[in-house]
Chains A and B, each alone.
Chain A
Amino acid sequence: MRRYFGRKLLVYGLTFFVAVTINWMVPRFMPGDPVSSMVARTGASNPAAAETMRVYYTGLFGLDQPIWQQYFNFWATLFQGDFGISIWAFPTPVSEIILGAVPYTLALMIPAILLSWVVGNWFGAYAARRKALDNAVLPIGYILTAMPYMWLAVLLAWGLGVVAGLFPVAGGYSFSTRPNWSWDFFLDLLHHWTLPFASLFLAALGGWAIGMRNMIIYELESDYSNYLSALGAPQRLIRRYAFRNAVLPQITGLALQLGVLVAGALVTEIVFSYPGLGSLILKAIQNQDFFLLQGTFLFIVLGVLIANFIIDIVYVVVDPRTRAGMAGAQA
């Protein structure tokens, strides 16, 4: 088990290292001179910001310093929690803006991902049992997995928001209110949260249902299922075992899908102008705010790595084989 976690942590550590390196390298090695053109573009609208940018990039690229020194400096500033200053919201530090947006993204993503996983697995398990349900779950599942997240979001926003007028289609809360600790504000938040959540939930649902269905069918044809059937064990027991064993690859699947789910959450937020990281990214791109973009990138990578590690821990709890010190999940 120690080896299992050791390997995982090594991969995550290296991943973070690679992500930071990408972050450092991309602006440096892009064709042309993006820095000067960026500074020029920003300078037209906000001279003070342009000056900050010039100073930052001079420090970053160090001009007179050797490359390894520049790279080292980059890490040093990172460990001080310094992600730079936002151009779009000058002079707010990037880290502050991101921390303000993270709760919205998490509030949207965590329930949507977990619920779609649970409900999808549940549907899939039932579909594997009943032919009629199977015939309904499969096509719907395939359509949902093939749908781009933002299109489903647009359809829901248009149908339930614009046409039916049931839900607001923009923002995290009403424009007329200010965030405060009241019951009314909470309801307002919930009201705005519903559609983006539903959209994210539905888009992810189909994949889990199909995956679970296929896994259960595979498990029901496995040797241990056949043996139990030959000994006359009731279907109830066999299905219980099959379900338990089919859930394990679905947990691994959750880890593998995290990147796609995060991407889905980002574009869904953009559709609903939901004040999370997705909307931040859009603003960063529209305003050429590269500090903000790069900071968000590192936050997302960090979040995904932490989520991966949590899933690893859950896997160890659920799969006895990893605890028994034997091979279980792949590194």
Chain B
Amino acid sequence: MTALQEVPAQDAQAPAVVRREALHFALRNGKLVTGLAIVLFLLLLGLLGPVLIGGTPNAYGTRPMQPPSGEHWFGTTTFGQDVFTQFVHGLRTTFAVGALGGGIAAVIGMLVGFVAGYRGGLIDEALNMFTNIVLVIPTLAVLLIINAYLGVRSVGAQALFIGLTSWPWAARAIRAQTFSLRTRDFVDLARLSGANTWKIITREIAPNMSSYLFMTFILLFGGSILIASSLDFIGLGPTEGISLGLMLQNANQWSAMQLGLWWWFIPPGAGITAVVGALYVANVGLDEVFNPKLRET
């Protein structure tokens, strides 16, 4: 009996119409378009930059401590390394950690959330307890211990451990959503027609909250980037290669601040802030697109 029912209800529309409508609002949503544009621009820079510029990011150069110029767009470090080359390589690593870490966390979060929310009962209790335990342990502290003992650290291992420790809030959120979906008619119907748990989760429940899952992934993506940058900064980053966090660590370790080499520490931090901030803003935009209630006002 709400006023919204006076226009045709969403359920009555064909999926294609809903999708077209979502796209219609998506293209008109300033937050989403701006956020995505920034993320895509930086992603392309990270993907193409290293290819176009070439060179190795950590190679020492002959002209140390140069301010930004036509030759060195972002200047050079105390070792003559080109900051822009490091930046584009670092972006690539940052996106990789975000996608991998966020992806792993999303998969675990979904598995735990779906199973706990759909099965309920004792399984739910056990998974809930497990989730709460991982939730209370300070993530970074665990990562410190693990990474400190790893002699050789790679981007992949870093992302893996971030993914393994940062899923709990997502699991809790997905569990709550699943819980509200599991008593709906279409789920009942699937259950009556003999579909097993896995099928119901993948065919009925997950597609019905796909937008929500996607937004969860985006937040996990951004979170992974921030955690990775903290680890890098403490000195537990990848032992090979470069990342935006490692650039900050190097700048801090070699007193860039005291030497006035602002071009060394501004770009990596700005890069992280831009990627994560743009992701968050795009997420708010997505929320408005998928949630008609927010859209109307």
Contact of B127 with A by CB under 8 A: no
In the assembled complex, the CB of A78 is this many whole angstroms from the nearest CB of chain B, namely 15
Contact present for B257 and A290 (CB under 8 Å): no
Q: Does A18 contact B (CB under 8 A)?
A: yes
Segment 139-167 of A: residues with Cβ below 8 Å from B = 142-143, 145-152, 154-155, 157-158, 161-162
A147-B269 in contact (CB<8A): yes
Interface of chain A: mostly helix, strand, loop or mixed: helix
> What per-residue 1/0 map shows which CB atoms of A112-147 lie under 8 Å from chain B?
000000000000000000000000000000110111
Q: Is the CB of B137 within 8 A of A19?
A: yes
Given contacts A162-B257, A293-B145, A266 and B234 within 8 Å (CB-CB): yes
Distance between Cα atoms of A282 and B252 in the complex (Å): 12
- Rounded to whole Å, the gap between the CB of B292 and the closest CB of chain A is 14
The answer, yes or no, to whether A53 is at the interface (CB within 8 Å) is: no
Q: Flag whether A57 is at the interface (Cβ < 8 A).
A: no
The answer on a CB contact under 8 Å between B137 and A266 is: no
Which chain A residues lie closer than 8 Å to B258 at the CB level?
162, 169
Q: Which residues of A contact B215 (CB under 8 A)?
A: none
Complexed CA–CA distance, A300 and B142 (Å): 10
Main secondary structure of the interface of B (DSSP, over half): helix
Given contacts A158-B262, A285-B235, contact A301 B252 (CB under 8 A): no
Q: Does B107 contact A (CB under 8 A)?
A: no
- Convert B228-246 into 0s and 1s, putting 1 for each residue whose CB lies closer than 8 angstroms to a CB of A: 0110011110000000010
Question: Interface 1/0s, chain A 261-301, versus B by CB < 8 A?
Answer: 01110110011000000000110111000100110010011
Chain A CB within 8 A of B227 CB: yes
Is A26 within 8 A of B137, CB to CB? no
Q: A11-B136, A146-B280 known; A154 and B265 CB under 8 Å?
A: yes
- Min CB distance, A179 to chain B, in Å? 25
Q: A258 interface residue, CB < 8 Å from B?
A: yes
Across the interface, B281 reaches (CB within 8 A) one of A11, A142, A155, A263, namely: A142
Known: A14-B133, A285-B234. A148 touches B140 (CB 8 A): no
**Interface pick from A29-37, A85-93, A99-107:** A29-37
Interface presence of A308 (CB below 8 A)? yes
Q: Using CB atoms, name the residue of chain B closest to A299.
A: B141
Task: Tell me, in angstroms, the Cα distance from A286 to B234 when the chains sit together.
Answer: 10
0/1 interface trace, chain B 254-297, chain A, CB 8 Å (1 if under): 00011010100110111011101101110010000000000000
Query: How many interface residues does A have (CB within 8 Å)?
Result: 60
Quick one: CB contact mask for B125-149 with A, threshold 8 Å, 1 for yes?
0001100110111111110111011
Q: Does B248 contact A (CB under 8 A)?
A: yes
How long is the Cα–Cα vector from A259 to B226 in the complex, in angstroms?
13
Q: Out of B233, B257, B279, B280, which one reaches A270, CB within 8 Å?
A: B233
Q: Is A22 an interface residue (CB 8 A)?
A: yes
User: CB-CB < 8 A to A318: which residues of B?
Assistant: none
Q: Which residues from B are CB-within-8-Å of A267?
A: 230, 233-234
How long is the Cα–Cα vector from A27 to B233 in the complex, in angstroms?
22
Q: How far is the CA of A263 from the CA of B234 in the complex (A)?
A: 10
Which residues of B sit under 8 angstroms from A281, Cβ to Cβ?
144, 234
> B222 on the interface (CB 8 Å rule)?
yes
Contact of B227 among A152, A169, A263 (CB under 8 A): A263
A263 in contact with B138 given A18-B133, A150-B230, A158-B265 (CB within 8 Å): yes
- One of A152, A161, A258, A294 near B145 (C-beta < 8 A): A294
Cα separation A146 to B222 with both chains bound (whole Å): 8
| Interfacial chain B residues near A304, Cβ < 8 Å | 136-138
CB distance from B132 to the nearest CB of A (A): 5
B194 located at the interface, meaning its Cβ lies under 8 Å from any Cβ of chain A in the complex: no
Q: Which residues of B contact A293 (CB under 8 A)?
A: 144-145, 148
Question: Which of A18, A145, A158, A300 interacts with B280 by CB under 8 Å?
Answer: A145
- Is B70 located at the chain interface by the 8 A CB criterion? no
| Inter-subunit contact B252/A271 (CB<8 Å) | yes
Find A30's partner among B149, B257, B276, B281 (CB 8 Å cutoff).
Answer: B149
Chain A nearest CB, measured from B206 CB (Å): 23
Residues in B with CB closer than 8 Å to A162 are 257-258, 260
Partner of A22, one of B145, B227, B251, B280: B145
List 8 additional contacts besides A155-B266, A259-B138, A304-B136; criterion CB under 8 Å.
Answer: A10-B129, A146-B273, A147-B272, A148-B229, A151-B265, A260-B139, A282-B235, A294-B145
A residues whose Cβ falls under 8 Å from a Cβ of B: 10-12, 14-15, 18-19, 22-23, 26-27, 30-32, 34, 37, 142-143, 145-152, 154-155, 157-158, 161-162, 169, 256, 258-260, 262-264, 266-267, 270-271, 281-282, 284-286, 290, 293-294, 297, 300-301, 304-305, 308, 330-331
Q: Which 6 A-B pairs have the closest CB atoms?
A: A151-B269, A146-B277, A263-B140, A259-B138, A146-B276, A30-B149
